[in-house]
Amino acid sequence: MMRIFFFILFSLISLTASAQKILILGDSLSAAYGMKQQQGWPHLLQQRTQWQLVNASISGETTAGGLARLPALLEQHQPDAVMIELGGNDGLRGFAINSVKSNLSEIITLVQQHKATPVLMQIRIPPNYGPRYGQQFSNIYPQLAEKHQITLWPFFMDNIATNQDLMLRDGIHPNIDAQPLISDFMYNLLEKFQTE
């Protein structure tokens, strides 16, 4: 009986040790804005995946802020992969396209230099910022994915932002009802994702 117990215990420890770790480098969309951390999609996702999720998202974060924080995060957590969910706040503030693109490119390069796999999430901004700027902003992500030959994930807000019942009153952030849906969306992406 004791042998079976120790075998199960050893198997669980081995599974935990071998589980891949993904660092989420994001902004308020991934930081459970307006609710408890336990209600946010990263926490909900952690309950159903073997990946170890480290949520380093901060509300209000920009690409410059993420770039500044990244070296310490990589050193501390030693992730196998980094999901980059940044740029929304840059776009909402009308930052220069070249600046946003440069920051994201540096983030990707840092992740690769650390022998981790970067995965970039497509970000879009509300249409009231003008079609020209909005299109240029959206184009940043596939351009960088092609340049660096990395995975580009679809925006998890695409089917959320158009439903007022799933959004906070600010029209920008997903509410608590949207979190399980985002968790489902991200789970499907993670299940298909492999690090190099």
Check residue 4 and give its pLDDT.
44
One of 27, 90, 173, 183 is an active-site residue; which one? 173
Q: Which of 68, 138, 71, 73 is nearest to 103 (CA)?
A: 68
The residue behind tokens 């932002």 is 161
148 is catalytic: no
From the list 28, 30, 57, 183, the catalytic residue is 28
Structure tokens at 83: 């999901």
- Res 18 pLDDT > 60: no
Alpha-carbon gap, residue 33 to 3, rounded angstroms: 47
| pLDDT tens per residue across span 68-120 | 999 999 999 999 999 999 999 999 999 999 999 999 999 999 999 999 999 99
Report the alpha-carbon distance of residue 102 to residue 114 in Å, rounded: 18
Does residue 170 have an active-site annotation?
A: yes
Query: Rounded mean pLDDT of 130-150?
Result: 97
Beta-bridge partners for 81? 22, 117
pLDDT at position 12 over 60: no
Judge residue 112's burial from the number of C-beta atoms within 10 Å of its C-beta, 0-12 exposed, 13-18 middle, 19 or more buried: middle
Confidence band (pLDDT; 50, 70, 90) for 130?
confident
What is the reported pLDDT for 31? 98
Residue 127's pLDDT band, with cuts at 50, 70 and 90, is confident
Give the helix ranges, DSSP H, for 19-173: 41-46, 63-77, 88-92, 97-113, 131-148
Say if residue 174's pLDDT is above 50.
yes
The domain made up of 18-191 has a fold known as Rossmann fold (3.40.50)
Packed helices 97-113 and 63-77: angle between N→C axes, nearest 10 degrees: 10
pTM: 0.89
Task: Show me where the domains of the chain are located.
Answer: 18-191
